[in-house]
Amino acid sequence: MWKYFTAKNTLKYVDILQKLVKSYNHSRHRSIGMRPVDVNEDNESIVWQKLYGEESDKSIRFKFNIGDQVRISKARRTFKKGYLPNWTEEVFTITKRVLRRPPVYKLADFDDEELKGTFYEQELQKVNKSDSDYYRVEEVLRSRMRNKRKEYFVK
């Protein structure tokens, strides 16, 4: 349609509407696996099943397990700086896997507070964290001595 509009330098489609409809109905559609003009009473149940039929829940595969630690993707804007991280620094834990198409996950933060909403697999990145990992210190708020050992309260 846009090809026609550009070639003829017009936005008037009424003249070619029948040609557009015929072209659409004689083109193969991937959703039904055939051309709409080929659908008839003999194969309408097959087409309906392809579009709306029940798929088994066994075919859903989860990428993450309950208890996995993940980071959440940050919302990207068009002109965002390329050197800034695309994932949150905070690490979350998967608390629930929701059986949907596509599968989604419920998360909790470090304090076991459930996050609102669900997250798609593409929005999550698995993190392999151990107890010996380091954390970024923004600022030392105060310090104290306890049992001849200096402790820091940090942000």
pLDDT tens for 76-93 read 666 666 666 788 888 899
Mean pLDDT of the chain: 86
Assess whether pLDDT exceeds 60 at residue 131: no
Give the type of residue at 93.
T
Which domains are seen in the chain, by residue range?
A: 1-53 (no CATH), 56-128 (2.30.30.50)
Q: Please write the tens of the pLDDT for every residue from 135-146.
A: 778 888 999 999
> How far is residue 45's CA from residue 71's CA, in Å, rounded to a whole number?
44
Contact by Cβ (8 Å): 91, 52: no
Higher pLDDT, 133 or 104: 104
pTM above 0.85, yes or no: no
Residue 28 CA to residue 81 CA, distance in Å, equals 42
Read off the pLDDT of each residue in 51-73 and give the average, rounded to a whole number.
Answer: 84
